[in-house]
Each structure stands twice: as structure tokens, then as C-alpha cells.
Chains A and B, each alone.
Chain A
Amino acid sequence: VIQQVLSGLEAGSWYALLAMALVVIMKSTGVANFAIGDIGLLAAFVALTLTNFGMPFPVVVAGGLLCAILLGIGLEFFVMRRVPSRSHFALLLVTIAIALVLDSVIELVWGTNPTVLPAPWTNRQLDFGGEVVPWAQVISIAVGVLAAFGLARFFRTRLGAQMRAVAENPAAAQVLGVSLNRVALISWAMAAALSGAAMILLTQARILTSSSAAAVIVPAFVAAIIGGFSSLTGAFFAGLALGVLQNLAGGFISTGSKEAIALVVVLVVLLVKPRGFGGASTVREV
């Protein structure tokens, strides 16, 4: 059971990081970003390329994350803010288009063959009193926790407060001198970095393919929905819980139930608590 829970927490950390990336963008720009997984996946492929050039792992990670951040900034600056319609539905469709384009770019540049993103801790384990725990799991969980703490603290800073203000009432925030464009740019950069971290962690533990993002985007959305698309804490714990739930179901019920669990959870949450846990009431025009 312990190993199943740890494996679940590992997968849950990836979901949580991606879910928090979704929430960061939603909080500050009101967009459900369907491209977030692919932005991170591109970072993982850049990391692979740097690895193939013989770069040390810290450089590989830094390069991947930097690429994700630049991509996030570029997409916000050159695409999102230039969409004529500001309706949430239009912007959501644009993110789907971005995801499809990024998928195609990845397939064109790196192909469709599954490959491995090696990490220094690959095949290394910790022994906790006879319980073997792979380093990969420890690091995934630790990064997830650190990111959650870091984000929670960030949203208490002046800039974080500006982002929350924009999420609450963009017009009022603008009147008070907050730059909506600047906030959007920073939130896309932050979300891209979170996604990059999630996908690098995921692909070093599993495999790196052009379809790696597709495997986690649904659970990430489920976690974000449970958090009401506004609570970072809610999204974080929902991601972890979902990972554990899926793994326990896979281990003790049937593997077929794993994928269904996410959909059952979101259905239950929408029925019981439509605004999610920790979600604030918001009226949106779509």
C-alpha cells in the first residue's frame, strides 16, 4: 500500500504542478489554458536535446525551463493579447489551437518515437526501513510541495496581490494602476515554468513522446476544477489526492478503473460542490 501511495503521490505531483499552472493563468487572465501541457512538453524536449549535447543535468533543466518561460511569454505577447475577441470562449479556443500547433511542431522536430530523458537519480533508490523508494518519486513530490509553498508565498507579495486583484476585478485593478498586460505576461511565464517542471519530472520518470502531455492534461484539469480554478492549495492537494486515488484503484480494483477515476471525481465534485473546494464565486461571460 505504501508503495502504491508513493507512486500515486509522484503522479499526483505532476498533476498538481500542471493544475497550479492552470490556476495561475485562470486567476490572472481568466483563460482555461489547454496548451499548458504542450508548453511544458516542449521544455522537456529541449531538455532532451541539451542532454544529447552532453550538457550537465542542472543546465538541461535550466535550459528547458527557460525555454518554457520564453514560450509562455511569447505566446501571451504575440498571440493571446492580440486576439480581437476577449471572450473566455474565444481565448479558450485559441489555447486549443496553440496546443495543436505545438504538438505538430514537436512531432516535426523530434519525431514520434518514444525516448528517455535521463536524470542523475534514474534507477537510484532510498531505503526507509526496508521500504524502497525511488529517488525519482522523492524529487517529484518535493518539487510539487516546494512549488506549492513558493506560489502561496508569491501571491502574498505586492505583485501577487496585483495578480489576485486582476482576477477579482480587472477593471478596478486597472483603475488602481495595475497593468493587465504585465500581469498576464508574468502569469503565463510562471505557468509555463510550472508546466515545464511538471513535464520534465514526468518524462524522466516515464517516457518522452509527443503524446506525453495528453496523458496528464485531463487529471490536471480535474485537479484545477476541484480547486475551483482559483485555489492553488485546492488544486495542489486535489492533484495529489487524484494521483493516489488512481494508483490505489489501479492496484486494488483494476487498471481499467484508473482513468475513469478522474472523470468520476470531477462528476462528483461538480454535482456536490460546483464551485470546487476553495473556489470563489465568479460570473463569467462566454
Chain B
Amino acid sequence: MAIAITIFAVACGGSTTATTKVAQGVTKDTILVGGTVMLTGAAPVAGAGFKGGLDAAIAEINAKGGINGRKFKLNLLDNGFEAARSVANMRRLGDDDKVYAIVVPAGSAILPGSWPYVKQSGIPVWAPTLPPDPNLPSVFMMSTSHTDQAKVLVDFLKSKNVNTLGYVGQDNDLGQSLLDGVNVQVPKAGMKLVATEKTQAGSPNVAAAVNNLFKAKPDAVMIGTDNTQAGLIIKQSKALGFNPIFVGDSTTASTGSAGVTSVAGDAADGMYGSAALALPTDTIPELQNYRKAMQQYAPDQIDNAYALQSYSYMQTFFEVIKRQGSDLTWTNFTKVAESLKGVKTGLLPPVNCGPLPGGHTCTQGAKISQFTNKKWTTITPDWLQPK
């Protein structure tokens, strides 16, 4: 399809130059990209952050003149954190709005429904956050997988002398991905998994799962749910006087942002989260550009970790566009993206992509952060790898 569109665009002349090969969404001076995030629904804190980071990254690159003479336009849709809307948005962006690529689509649990469409259309999807890697030719993951983050968290808990672990996750891919990591790493770490509870995605009713965890009394509980449920689980556990160590990954703990902690309130104090990118509050020098751009274009989201996430992912997307040169076909996008090696933003683990299978998950490793005194602080400066 990409080739057909390219041939059509070049044959028609249109608004492209004679020597430029392009796919849909590209004109001589613009590249239209699309996004679908949860501006409303169960995780609007995340959605606002993603939007802020995308807006800032695109405004920043456009202020520098764009890439190879083309500026970027963003068509951002609200998925309401609903799978059906997410699927409809992806189709609309690809088929109706004719974007060149879909960037940082958000919703771990709601994105997989779009994979059949993405597979059929071949539209590039850059850095979806953070479903399991679908291993599709046009999808590239910029974040460490839930499974690997769960493994890093188990190793970390072992270092905190945790012997028994409880797990509560949603009955979907998100919950299963973390559980996969737990099931692999818990025996390796010499720990015992004493409870495995499931929650229904989107339901605020987590009491049954919390009661079962309370009965098992593990030293620590790993959470594999959306932010609202994670906050409720922590809150209702504390209401029962049940105080294990709570951990979650970058998505389920919303590490660095208020997605979980705003729901759990004071009960969240002390919880740990893995992070697959730097935190906005870190003091590393690489954050200067981010803070400058956010200050200028989306100041209200500057401390939202989701903003840093989308901003960071866009830097790697721009790198691919830059390396594509004049060949802006979808085929070349995949080829160039697969060739990214050792790209260092300082904000993410080093980016190393490769061919399928497996090569489209381009980063590994995670840092651990803790929520204390109403803020997240990175407590392991290096990117930890699962043992």
C-alpha cells in the first residue's frame, strides 16, 4: 500500500519535488503525524502529559526549521482510555486524516486492538506506550517492556530482603506482561509468589482482590493495573491496615507522575516504581532541552513524566526522519528505524533497534524511583538490567 501511495504521489507530482519519494501525510513543506491519547477517561493525567510532551517536541523542532525543510503538524485525538475509541482513532488517522505516522499512541491495555489494522495498512507506529511488542514491521517500541521492568523490580525487591510477593494485575495484556516477568524472575531471585489476583480493566471495584492479597500477607505487592485501579488498591490496602511494599512499572505506578499517587493519596508514600526514562525532576544535564521546550510550549505539564516520555520518544522519531533524507516512504522508515544503533538521548536507555523478531523493542533496562514526601525520586542512577 505504501508503495502504491508513493507511486501515486510521485506520478501526480502533487506538492512533492520530483526527486522525493514520499508516503501519505507528506508535502513539500510539512509532515502530518497523528496521535491518540487519553485526554479524558480513567487516566487523564497521563493524557495531558503525553499531549504536553508531543506539543513541545513538535513546536521545538518546528522552531528550528523542521527537518529537511519540512515542519511537523500533529493531529491529536482523544481515546477516552477506551479500546473501541482507540481503534477508531487509529483507523481515522491512517485512512481519513492520512497521517504519515502515528506517534506515541497511548494506552497499554487499549492499543492491541489496533494491531490488525496497523498490520493491514502498514502505517508506521512510533513508540506506543506501552503494550506488549506486537512484533509488526511498522511498529517500534521505545520503552523497556513491562515484562523486563517486572524482572528489574523483582531483583530490586530481593535487594530489599523481600521474600514473599503478591501480584495483582488486570485481566488483559498489561496484567499478563508483568505477570510473565514475575513468573520468570521470582524463582530466580529465590522469592515466593504467594498471591496472584486479577482485576477487571476499567472497574473501580478492586475490593475482592485487595481482600485476597490481605489474606496472603506478602512482604511486597506488585501492581499490574491501570493508574486508577493501582491507586485504589493501595488506598484500600492501607484502609485495611495492610502495608506491604507496593511496586509497579512505569505504566502501572505512573512513575514520575501523579496518575497513581493522586488516587491513593498519602497511602502512596513509600511506593516504588520502575522508570524506562529519566524523571522530569532528575538533575541530569540532558533534561535542559526538555525543560526549556516545556517551559516555552507546555509549562503546565513540565513535571509530568508522561510529557517527558512523549518528548523523548519524539526525539528518536525525528532522528529516523532525519536519517531518511529524501526517501520518506514507509518502507524506508522501517529500514532506517531498524538501523538505529547506540542512539543516546540521555533521557532513555540507549536506543538499539534491529530486525524482527524482537528487534523493534529498541530499549532495555530501567531505573527505580520512590515516591516520598509527595514526589518521585530516582534512587538507582544507572539503567538496571534483569539478572
Give the CA-CA distance A7 to B207 in the complex, in Å.
6
Interface segment out of the listed A64-72, A112-120, A145-153, A183-191? A112-120
A250 touches B241 (CB 8 A): no
CB–CB A258/B262 < 8 A: no
> How far apart are B40's CB and chain A's nearest CB, in angstroms?
5
Is B239 touching A251 in the complex (CB atoms < 8 A)? no
Q: Determine the residue in chain A with the shortest Cβ distance to B242.
A: A132
Asked whether B239 lies within 8 Å of A255 as measured between CB atoms, the reply is no
Indicate with 1 or 0, residue by residue over B201-212, a CB within 8 angstroms of chain A CB atoms: 001110111111
Q: Specify which of B45, B209, B211, B264 lies most central, judged by the most chain A CB atoms within 10 Å of its CB.
A: B211
Q: Of B197, B207, B232, B239, which is in contact with the most chain A CB atoms at under 10 Å from its CB?
A: B207
Chain B CB within 8 A of A111 CB: yes
B window 205-231: CB within 8 A of A: 205, 207-212, 214-215, 227-228, 231
Contacts A114-B263, A123-B267, A132-B240 given; does A258 touch B208 at CB 8 Å = yes
Q: How far is the CA of A246 from the CA of B227 in the complex (A)?
A: 23
User: Which interface residue of A10, A211, A248, A250 has the most chain B CB atoms within 10 A?
Assistant: A250
| B199:A207 contact, CB within 8 angstroms | no
Q: In whole angstroms, how far apart are the Cα atoms of A259 and B211 in the complex?
A: 18
A52 contacts chain B at the CB level, 8 A cutoff: no
Q: How far is the CB of B47 from chain A (nearest CB, A)?
A: 9
Among A10, A134, A207, contact of B263 (Cβ-Cβ < 8 Å)? A207
Interface of B is mostly: helix
A207 touching B208, Cβ below 8 Å: no
Determine which of B208, B214, B240, B262 lies in contact with A255 in the assembled complex, contact meaning CB atoms within 8 Å.
B208
Q: Determine the residue in chain A with the shortest Cβ distance to B41.
A: A112
Q: A113-B262, A255-B198, A256-B171 are in contact. Are A247 and B208 (CB under 8 A)?
A: yes
> In the complex, what residues of B have CB within 8 A of residue A215's CB?
203-205
Q: Give bound CA distance, A247 to B199, whole Å.
A: 12
Distance to closest chain A CB from B230 (angstroms): 11
Residues of A contacting B360 in the complex (Cβ-Cβ under 8 angstroms): none
| Interface residue from A4, A113, A136 paired with B45 (Cβ < 8 Å) | A113
Residues of B contacting A250 in the complex (Cβ-Cβ under 8 angstroms): 205, 207-209
Name A136's closest neighbour in chain B (CB-CB).
B239
Task: Say whether B200 contacts A114, CB under 8 Å.
Answer: no
Q: Is A232 close to B, CB under 8 A?
A: no
Indicate whether B358 reaches chain A with its CB closer than 8 angstroms. Answer: no
- Assess whether A206 is in contact with B171, with CB atoms less than 8 Å apart: no
A122 contacts the other chain (Cβ, under 8 Å)? yes
Residues of chain A in range 246-267 having any CB-CB distance to chain B below 8 Å: 246-251, 254-256, 258-259
Nearest chain A CB to B148 CB, angstrom units: 26
Q: Which residues of A contact B263 (CB under 8 A)?
A: 114-116, 207
Give the CA-CA distance A206 to B42 in the complex, in Å. Answer: 13
A116 near B44: Cβ-Cβ < 8 Å: no
- CB of B211 within 8 A of CB of A255, answer no
Interface bracket on A? 35 or more
What is the CB-to-nearest-CB distance from A182 to chain B, in angstroms, rounded to a whole number?
38
Q: Is the CB of B40 within 8 A of A251?
A: no
B171 with A4: CB separation less than 8 A: no
How far is the CB of A203 from the nearest CB of chain B, in Å?
Answer: 10
Tell me if B265 counts as interface (CB < 8 A to partner A): yes
B50 to chain A minimum Cβ distance, whole angstroms, is 14
Smallest CB-CB separation from B43: which chain A residue? A114
CA distance A258 to B197 in the complex (A): 14
A134 vs B210: C-alpha distance when bound (angstroms): 13
Q: Does B235 contact A (CB under 8 A)?
A: yes
A116 near B235: Cβ-Cβ < 8 Å: yes
Query: CB distance A114 to B228 under 8 Å?
Result: yes
Do A116 and B211 touch across chains, with their CB atoms under 8 A apart?
no
Tell me the A149-203 residues at the B interface (CB within 8 Å).
Answer: none
Of the residues A8, A11, A115, A134, contact of B262 by C-beta under 8 Å: A115
A125 at the interface (CB under 8 A from B): yes
* Measured CA separation A255–B175 after assembly (Å): 13
Chain A 196-230, CB-CB to B under 8 Å as 1, else 0, gives: 00000000011101011001000000000000000
What is the CB-to-nearest-CB distance from A55 to chain B, in angstroms, rounded to a whole number? 18
Nearest CB on B from A14, distance (A): 11
Apart from the given pairs A207-B235, A251-B209, A258-B200, 7 other A-B contacts in the complex at a CB distance below 8 Å: A3-B214, A112-B41, A116-B265, A123-B239, A123-B267, A132-B240, A247-B208
A–B Cβ pairs within 8 angstroms, 14 of them: A4-B207, A114-B262, A122-B265, A123-B239, A125-B240, A132-B241, A206-B235, A207-B263, A247-B211, A250-B205, A254-B171, A255-B199, A256-B171, A259-B200
Residues of chain A whose beta carbon lies under 8 Å from any beta carbon of chain B: 3-4, 7-8, 10-11, 107, 111-116, 118, 122-123, 125, 132, 134, 136, 205-207, 209, 211-212, 215, 246-251, 254-256, 258-259
- Which 6 A-B pairs give the minimum distances between C-beta atoms? A250-B208, A7-B207, A251-B208, A134-B239, A116-B265, A112-B44
